[in-house]
Structure 1
């Protein structure tokens, strides 16, 4: 294994050295191809393959000209934790037996400004599968091209564009470890920051930005965390169909900064059938879409470059309103759908929806006696059923209302 890792490291170093010697910029496609390669075996937190990815990111940051802002003059901030057995308990950071060490990679652009913009994306993924995987056929490399080599790639491109351009802020770039295990890297950094967080103006998080659809639908969460977000987002919008959510709480790393009273946004292009599966590969990404998102974020930062430090505002925690379920329909909802009902973006074989003949693209408009007008009403309706119950579901399929029997 050691020999293999040394060989892979030489490959990565060779690609990086050849590019830098020719003073060629490394492209978004090249960054993602490396991070999402089979050789890195899914970048699971604490593995030697994640460390290879961290080493690559360190060299990229160094090549861009970012200053090291990890621990002890390095680009790395390590954190050690004991995996939790109880899903409702908090992870315990610290040394000891049966611990795992994650590694945040942190670079800094110091413009000697009085405020700092934090730009982050997690680079870890699910390794060979295991907990969190939606793949049912055993171990396989989960490359995580969209989740989240896409966000890291866009972050590196932003670092290159911000270098020597917008100087009204300092910029801190963080590639987080441990996101898939519970936002561990961002949680640790927010409580053990390597900069003065009082200078933090706002945080931009990119998690799964690689599958922009043809209609250019882009989800942005956290729009309520400062009063100016919606105005700025609309003023700089180059043509996205925006789906905005005010809550600063969510299942990604922006949450850790929101909880430190820092305005934060999360950019997301939606889930898909390859989510948390080995098929989330680099050749399926929309690279033009990622470039468009990166330019949009750059415009947002530019719009605020000369502005005063943003005022923080707390938001409603929408996750507290989510009902608990005893059953599942076996579908992947389309979280970017803003029409009436709940649009199905994927069907799981062997589950109630598949048995009832529901299809991807169907819009659930009624479940049992409940009318479904949005995601929340769908979840409330679903929470009323128990295993063994039967009911009817009505879907809109290309304008036609279709009724089917469902057994949970």
Structure 2
């Protein structure tokens, strides 16, 4: 059955490529990338190659030149996956145990002295496996928000920038492979660049930008990597509820460029209950929110062409401060919440939080003897517990303060 679905999807894909619809909407890009026919776009699979071919076709239709190896649109890399969580992925020659990923690149050469990189990963989890939060039989993880949404915004910006007659900087657009396996495509590119990284002014990464909430909250990380980011982002803000985070290190592809001393930004609209599950489908995305992000970044790019050189600045590595956990409460934190406490954005089934009656929207303000004022204090409080321990969690539900017993 799976083979028939894949074959039918491939035939539809081939027809769509021949027809070359113009223009292509965000909805159409996401619908194809997050369709069952691509089988979850797991790195190295036929579905991921179909996605790469689609990106190549879209970039060609925008009259962009290849930015990959030897003037092509591709940069292939072969790697052997980790055998244990403490080992490193090994790049190298093909073997029986290796996988080949494929970055997709397009370049606009305006003859400028500076190059700007905009990127988004296009791979996802296939039928699940490591990284999936799905429990049950293997099922296609379409990854509409993660990260067909980022790729669609990237393509929309490629269209805007390619139509911009007054552009002076050069622009490199990259669809990264292997992000879900450990930022592999961006890591490989950063160590084997097809343009001189000495001339790269900054890098912008789009990862999970499709689920903007009604309050228009938008998280932007990396704002400490150059002194002017925060001022520019606030000045150009059309009305987003901005949550600005300084660290240039995070679980997405901008990290690979920050480690090369390049100023970075990462745009993100927040976690949700469909994250890394088969239910992350295209009809759940906020396409108007995606358009607003694309317009915002285009204004930022235009403004930056008239700015001087961006000075790189190292930031505190927040990931090094994250405590280690032996237990889990069983909630999805609202990473965009900037009030006091830790707001719950989802409750997992058959976990301590559900057993205690915690609900989406509850704000954790105390765990045991520890006061919770933000995400970091919540994680520190959680890190002291072991399996079998019991404690009390206090939450705000609306204006009411509730205390519940928790057993880990």
TM-score normalised per structure 1: 0.97
Q: Distance in 2 between matches of 1:159 and 1:206?
A: 13
Q: Is contact 1:43-1:124 (8 Å) kept?
A: yes
Contact 2:261 2:312 in 1 (8 A): yes
**Correspondence 1:49-64 to 2 at 5 A:** 49-64=47-62
Quote the residue 2:221 is aligned against: 221
1:103 aligns with 102
Residue 35 of structure 1 corresponds to which residue in structure 2? 33
Q: 3-state SS of the aligned residue for 1:126?
A: coil
Contact 2:217–2:269 under 8 Å retained in 1: yes
CA distance in structure 2 between the partners assigned to 1:4 and 1:352 by the alignment: 39
Paired position in structure 1 for 2:159: 160
For 1:71-90, list aligned pairs within 5 A: 71-90=69-88
What's the secondary structure of 1:102's corresponding residue?
strand
Spell out, residue by residue over 1:214-263, the C-alpha distance to the aligned partner (whole angstroms, 9 max, x if none). 00000000000000100110111000000010000000000000000000
For residues 375-390 of structure 1, the aligned pairs below 5 Å read: 375-390=375-390
Equivalent residue runs for 1:1-400 within 5 Å = 8-20=9-21, 24-95=22-93, 96-165=95-164, 166-400=166-400
Residue 3 of structure 1, CA deviation: 8.8
Deviation at 1:306, TM superposition (A): 2.0
Q: How far has the Cα of 1:4 moved from its partner?
A: 7.3
Root mean square deviation of aligned Cα = 1.3
Unaligned runs of 5+ in 1: none
SS of aligned partner of 1:180: helix
| d(CA) in 1 for partners of 2:392, 2:97 | 48
In structure 2, distance between residues paired with 1:74 and 1:329: 48
Helix, strand or coil at the partner of 1:203: strand
8 Å contact from structure 2 (residues 363, 395) kept in 1: yes
| Runs of 4+ that moved beyond 3 A | 1-10
Q: Distance in 2 between matches of 1:139 and 1:288?
A: 32
Does the CA-based 8 Å contact 1:218-1:240 persist in structure 2? yes
**More displaced 10-residue stretch of structure 1: 372-381 or 305-314:** 305-314
Aligned length: 405
Alpha-carbon offset, residue 7 of structure 1: 5.4
Q: Which moved more, 1:289-298 or 1:96-105?
A: 96-105
Unaligned runs of at least 5 residues, structure 2:
none
The 3-state SS of whatever aligns with 1:204 is strand
Is the 1:168–1:306 contact (alpha carbons within 8 Å) kept by the matching residues of 2?
Answer: no
- Partners of 2:64 and 2:107 within 8 A in 1: yes
